[in-house]
Amino acid sequence: MDLGGREPVADFIDSLPTEVQAKVLRLIDLLADYGVLFKESYTRQIRGKLRELRITTKSGEIRVFYFAFADRRLVLLHGFVKKTRRTPIRDIEIAERRLNDFVNRQGG
């Protein structure tokens, strides 16, 4: 949740078609269960603490940025539909801003 009380990743997931939402939510559940031990093919480090959950659907590639916080808590930061081979810098920067905002609000 951001300072304004919005949940950007939840809003992103809600904007997806129902069958895609189901797959995204299933993989988020698996990520929650396995944490940092989740298979490398489904997750990848982007830079620093920032990681991405990689979801392949019939309609395209979905990415959800997250990071591991204290007590094995995973914080979802930003979701988007990937339309190019390389992850857009703009999306990485959005996730990093949200990561820094979250950490600062938590006092750490």
- In 10 A of CB 88, how many CB atoms? 13
pLDDT digits (tens, 9 = 90+) for 30-81: 999 988 788 888 999 999 999 999 999 987 899 999 999 887 789 999 999 9
Quick one: tokens of 46? 């982007």
> For residue 90, what is the enclosing H or E element?
helix 89-105
Split into its structural domains, the chain has a count of 1
| Sheet strands side by side (includes 60-69) | 43-47, 50-57, 60-69, 73-82
CATH number of 41's domain = 3.30.2310
Rounded to the nearest 10°, the torsion over CA 69, 70, 74, 76 is -40
Domain extent at residue 71: 8-105
**Mean pLDDT, the chain, whole residue set:** 91
Domain annotation covers residue 96: yes
Domain annotation covers residue 3: no
Domain annotation covers residue 1: no
